[in-house]
C-alpha cells in the first residue's frame, strides 16, 4: 500500500529494522552512508535495493535534509553497486518511488537497481 511521503520518519519500517540488524538481508555492499541488498521479490534478474543509513522518508526528504557528504556517499554507493554487478555495459535502470502517486511502499528512501535483461518501457501504459 503506497505511503504518504510527507509524514515523519517511522523507526519501525522494514528498512530501519534491517539497518538495526533486527531483520536479515542478503547484503551486496555497505559503506558508512548506504546499505545495498538483494530484493526479496525481484522484478528483474538483478534487483538490488540501496538505502541510506540515515532516517530519510523519501528522495525529497533526503535531498532537502541530507548533508552533502551523505548525499555524495549514497550516490557513489549506488554507482559502485551497479558497476560491481556488471550492469554498466549492458545497461540498467534506477527507480526511487516517492509518495502515494509514485507507488512508494516503505517510508525509508530506497533506490531500486534493475538489470540483467531488457527492461522494456519505462512506465506501464
Catalytic residues: 110
The strands making up 46-52's β-sheet, listed across from edge to edge, are 27-30, 34-38, 46-52, 111-115, 92-95
User: What is the distance between the alpha carbons of residues 9 and 33, in angstroms, rounded to a whole number?
Assistant: 17
Can you point out the beta strands (E) in 5-123? 27-30, 34-38, 46-52, 92-95, 111-115
Q: Which DSSP string do the residues of 78-93 spell out, in sequence order?
A: HHHHHHHTT-TTT-EE
Handedness of CA 98, 28, 41, 85 (dihedral sign): positive
Amino acid at each position: 500500500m503506497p505511503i504518504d511521503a510527507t509524514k515523519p520518519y517511522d523507526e519501525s519500517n522494514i528498512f530501519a529494522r534491517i539497518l538495526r540488524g533486527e531483520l536479515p538481508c542478503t547484503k551486496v555492499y555497505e559503506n558508512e552512508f548506504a546499505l545495498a541488498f538483494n530484493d526479496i521479490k525481484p522484478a528483474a534478474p538483478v534487483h538490488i535495493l540501496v538505502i541510506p543509513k540515515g532516517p530519510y522518508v523519501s528522495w525529497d526528504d533526503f535531498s532537502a535534509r541530507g548533508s552533502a557528504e551523505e548525499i555524495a556517499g549514497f550516490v557513489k554507493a549506488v554507482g559502485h553497486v551497479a558497476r560491481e554487478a556488471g550492469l554498466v555495459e549492458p545497461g540498467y535502470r534506477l527507480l526511487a518511488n516517492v509518495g502515494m502517486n509514485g507507488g512508494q511502499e516503505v517510508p525509508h528512501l530506497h533506490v531500486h537497481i534493475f538489470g540483467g535483461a531488457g527492461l522494456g518501457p519505462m512506465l506501464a501504459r
